[in-house]
Structure 1
Amino acid sequence: MIDPGLFLTFVAAVTVLMLIPGPNVALITANSIAYGPKYGLLTVAGTSSAMVIQLAFTALGMTELLATAGIWFEGLRWIGVAYLVYLGILQWRAPAIDLTRTRPQPKSPRAIYLRALLVSLTNPKTLLFYGAFFPQFLTTSGDVATQVAILSTTFLVLALLVDGGWALLSGRARGLLAGRGQLRNRISGGLLMGAGTALALLRNK
């Protein structure tokens, strides 16, 4: 099974990452503000469908890789720790994003779903992120395939909850979304760096 400390850190880190506005969040917010929460949730369905496909590919590849990685396993996890801290630094220094400037998609359920699926599938950083992020939270003492399956399911559930929250709240929080972007970046960046530091400390136990 997964180490409880690592799992809780995983949940915290994923939640922070999901709260950081990116292409998916921008599209969810734009459609929700323009057409209402129903269309925002439809956008979430599209981005989450893409996530299922990406997580499946990542899980299959990672299980195969980590089963044969041997002595490289711990090094790979330390690379993931460094990557998480690096993401935090980038987020801290990133320019503020105005989510209300993203244009909504045409008001067609099919178009909104397919566009959300395409936006999420074609993000070139996603698979790299999954590949670098997940190994940090795995241990060689348990079955790797089971651990990857649990983490993937947890990731998807958190994505549905957080992205669904963006869809439901964006219509009411338009003014808040438009401003205070720099403060949001500093908070999320600091939390990511803190998560990376926590992982480093867990590795030393």
Structure 2
Amino acid sequence: MESQLAFITICIASASSPGPGMLAVLSNSLNQNMQRTIPVILGISTGLLLASILSNSWLLTLVHTNALAYQVMTGLCSSYIIYLGCRAIYYSTSQALIESRSYGYKSGVLISLLNPKTIVFFGALFPLFVKSEQYFALQAALLTLELVVITLSIHLLLSLATEKVARFLKRYVVTINRLTGLLFIALGLSGLMLQV
């Protein structure tokens, strides 16, 4: 029971902490509305499911046992997050451009799947909560389901709250999107710096 509570607490903290997924949800909710943010939230959840499958299979086993493979994977993931930051800054030049650009389902999947935090979560922390190798797949599936439901719930609540205050923040939307872009770039650069 204590380990279950610890896992839920870690899931809540992870889903609530700033990261590419949260930034995408905030950005979409601010620039669009909750209805147009739901695809990115569902994409993030799908990406978490895929990351779980990969982390419990040979691919991430290879990445975790081969330092070079891990560095290449982290570099690619960090580069994608930097790309998202540059994209956010590029499209933040005017209200019209901001409203025409949003994150969708595919972006959500990639954000989640290529997020170094997700790789670390599943690769390093996740195995701590699997009791034994017996029924490993069932335990992994249940833990993944808990993480996805918690993340989905937090992102929906975040989107709803952001949509409610968005009308007050609309006059600052260009600045907010530039800051979002800079945060994406900082997250990506921190991932690259950890490799050095």
Secondary structure (helix, strand or coil) at the match of 2:167 reads coil
**Deviation digits for residues 24-74 of structure 1 (CA, Å, limit 9, x no counterpart):** 944x4455xxxxxxxx3444456545655x35xx52x55554434184151
Normalized per residue, the structure richer in helix is 2
Question: Aligned pair in 2 of structure 1 residues 183, 29: CA closer, same or farther (>3 Å)?
Answer: closer
Q: Is the contact made by 1:92 and 1:186 (CA closer than 8 Å) also made in structure 2?
A: yes
Residue aligning to 1:16:
19
Q: Residue type of the partner of 1:67?
A: N
Give me the identity figure in percent.
8
Structure 2 alignment gaps of length 5 or more: 131-139
TM (norm. structure 1) is 0.55
The Cα of 1:81 is off from its aligned counterpart by 3.3
Aligned residues: 169
1:81 to 52, 74, 94: 74
Contact 1:44 1:163 survives alignment (8 Å) = yes
Alignment CA distance shift 1:168-1:97 (3 Å): farther
Alignment counterpart, residue 100 of structure 1, candidates 88, 95, 107: 95
Q: C-alpha deviations, 1:99-148, integer Å up to 9, x for none?
A: 73226xxxxxxxxxxxx9xx733x2x443443333332123444333443
Partner of 1:190: 186
Mean Cα deviation higher: 41-50 or 155-164: 41-50
**Structure 1 pair 193/179, CA: closer, same or farther in 2 (3 Å)?**
same
C-alpha distance in structure 2 between counterparts of 1:90 and 1:136, whole Å: 21
Q: What is the RMSD of the two structures over their aligned residues, measured on CA atoms?
A: 4.4
Aligned counterpart in structure 2 of residue 131 of structure 1, from 100, 106, 113: 113
Partner of 1:72: 62
Equivalence map 1:168-183=2 (5 Å): 168-179=164-175, 181-183=177-179
- Say if 1:86 and 1:71 are closer, same or farther in 2 by CA, change over 3 A: same
